[in-house]
Chains A and B, each alone.
Chain A
Amino acid sequence: MLALRGIEKSYPLAVGSLPVLKGIDLNITQGEMVAIMGSSGSGKSTLLNVLGLLDGFDSGGYDLDGVDMSGLSEKQAARYRSQFLGFVFQSFNLISFKTALENVALPLFYQKVPRRERQRRALEMLGKMGMDDRADHLPSELSGGQKQRVAIARALITSPRVILADEPTGALDSTTSSEVMSVLREVNASGITVIIVTHEADIAAKCDRTIRLHDGVIIEDGRSGEVVEPTANGAGSSD
């Protein structure tokens, strides 16, 4: 489903540039549930943005569903994103003046789905997240866990093949975190690939596979729980 070959990316700085991804090789097949871990600044978000077609890369290759993704225009990237990908953000990023229902329905609006149909599908999706009774609430009237459920519903509404989540539980307490994780597990159970960036080992443990990044390279890749806690660098637990 997703295949990265020797991906390199650096950010231009005022003087010179900062290499962030230094040759990433990665294959993720349809239906996997993958955690990306690593210390702060190791390049996790950058990697997820590349996977999510939100950012480009300098060299290497990226195939999404067998299609080469190098050198896409902004417009093409937007099309692949809305066709294949759904995003969940750490800070939820719900639109503050829209109700839960309107937030969930928004991606369908951009796909030009008629209003009634949008509302029906959004309500149904909220129902799957156990949130249909909060449909008319504004984000400010929801708890953190509820907001993230709405955000997940919004990511799922367009029936994406892959969900990309950058620290989806980063702003939640541990009970709420595990609720959100079980929602994401259910999503994964329906055949959708889920990729989660996280700092927390117990979140990673709920995934099938854990990839550990360090300084722009993958240093560990294996079944969750089998990946050894690194002793050097103090990564994983300190941040």
Chain B
Amino acid sequence: MFNRETWIEIAHTVTANPLRTALTGLSVGLGIFILVVMQGLGFGLQNGVEQDFADEAKNTIWVRTGTTTLAYRGRQPNRYIELRDEDEERVTEQVVETPAASGRLSMWGSTVQYKNEQGNYPLMGVEPDFAELDLIPLQGGRWLHQDDVEKEAKVCVIGENVINELFKQRSPIGQYIILRGITFRVVGHFTKNGRWGNSMVYIPMTTMQRLFQGNDAIGSMVLSTGDRDLAGSTDMVDAIDGDLRLRHAVHPEDQRAVRVRDNQEEYAMFDRIFKGIRLFIWVIGGLTLLAGAIGVANIMAIVVKERTVEIGVRKALGATSGSILSLIVIEAICLTLISGALGLIAGVATLNYAAPYAQHDYFTNPEVNLRVTVTALIVLVLAGAFSGLVPALRAVRIRPIEALRYE
């Protein structure tokens, strides 16, 4: 099938009318270009969001509180709802069953000193379970123990930025630093992605409450949903939400006072959104490509018309319908493949050059993956075959006598 003759024929079709070939090629190339670039952007968006999610375990529920916005049971709005030790105890022991839970009491912009260096970092009071809930990758030393919490130990675990800025490459383990005027011993350090991740200073919840808070507030609360599926975690959310609203007399419709967010559900929602975006991209790219394929079909139809006599002569000389059919189809596939490949290369190049300039929290690595490339190529060949088929069937119907009749 792919012998010298075939290539001569294709070269002839392509060069017979270079402008026409170029324009057709452009439409196919553009179709693939758009498809590839949009796929890349879609992946970039997905990567960004996925990385954001990667900062926290997916099977977690985050409970946050705020001021009430609605009056309820004789209470005025604008009341601050504060989570306390008793809330965490009740929720984890009576309301739901969870393998891991922790409060998270934060003090942003806390002054941290080490010898002559100092800086401002977010200080977080947490419980031992927090490491697995927030996926904190420990780089050295140890994480906070239950023992630290019980003894209200003055120990801390610090992020990479703190080390770089205060310790200047020196190992921080065992060193003493001053947090908000009180001396703590560094027991571990970690490296984490995300905007704030590397700047955090974690200390035991009890220490935080005693030294800096002055009461038993726990800030917000995070719980693991274990191996529950989406329905299971939603039940859990409802239970926690209901309990907190009941205890703190919060209107069921109040959106700000109690906010229970399910990572799993959010992830599922993003996943649905991305499926939609991907489908949308395929449809747009596919339609553009279809327009290109119709262009190729058109050029092949013209080629067939221009070569009616030639095809008739070939048949008089013994060409079978199959050989005519494959000739036209292969020409069409080659046309689409060559121009599509150019579009593909242009698309990949664009993404590669643009990627470094387009980094954002919700947009990372707008990559062209192998699967998209291969799929695009398969789609191209199919489009080419499709675009060649209609004119080819017309060519097959030409009877050899047309050649003799033609003047």
Contact = CB atoms under 8 A, between A and B. Distances in A.
Interface of A: 45, 49, 52, 54-55, 74-75, 78, 81-82, 87, 89, 91, 93, 95, 97-98, 102, 106-107, 109-111, 115, 154, 158, 166
Interface stretch (B120-128, B281-289, B399-407): B399-407
A54 B404 contact: yes
What 7 A-B pairs come out closest when comparing CB atoms? A82-B318, A110-B318, A97-B12, A54-B401, A93-B313, A107-B317, A55-B401
Interface in B1-29: 3-5, 8, 12
Contacts of A98: 8
Contacts of A74: 321, 399
A81 B3 contact: no
B320 interface: yes
A49 B318 contact: no
Nearest to B307: A95
Given A81-B400, A158-B318, 12 more contacts: A54-B316, A54-B399, A54-B400, A75-B320, A78-B320, A87-B316, A89-B404, A91-B407, A93-B313, A95-B314, A110-B317, A110-B319
B309 interface: yes
B310 A95 contact: yes
B183 interface: no
B317 A89 contact: no
Nearest to B309: A93
5 contacts: A49-B404, A93-B309, A93-B310, A102-B8, A110-B317
Contacts, number: 60
Contacts of B314: 95, 106, 110
A110 B323 contact: yes
A45 B403 CA distance: 12
Contact of A93 (B5, B318, B399, B403): B403
B104 interface: no
B320 A110 contact: yes
A106 B404 contact: no
Contacts of B192: none
A49 B401 contact: yes
Contacts of A54: 316, 399-401, 404
Contact of B316 (A45, A81, A102, A115): A81
A111 B401 CA distance: 20
A115 B399 CA distance: 27
B315 interface: yes
Contact of B317 (A75, A91, A154): A154
Nearest to B403: A93
A49 B405 CA distance: 10
B313 A89 contact: yes
A194 B222 CA distance: 98
Contacts of A45: 404-405
B318 A107 contact: yes
B285 to A, nearest CB: 35
A98 B401 CA distance: 22
A75 B321 CA distance: 8
Contact of A115 (B4, B315, B407): B4
B400 to A, nearest CB: 5
Contacts of B404: 45, 49, 54, 89, 166
Interface string B376-407: 00000000000000000000000111011101
A119 B320 CA distance: 21
A87 B401 CA distance: 11
B315 A78 contact: yes
A36 to B, nearest CB: 14
B126 to A, nearest CB: 78
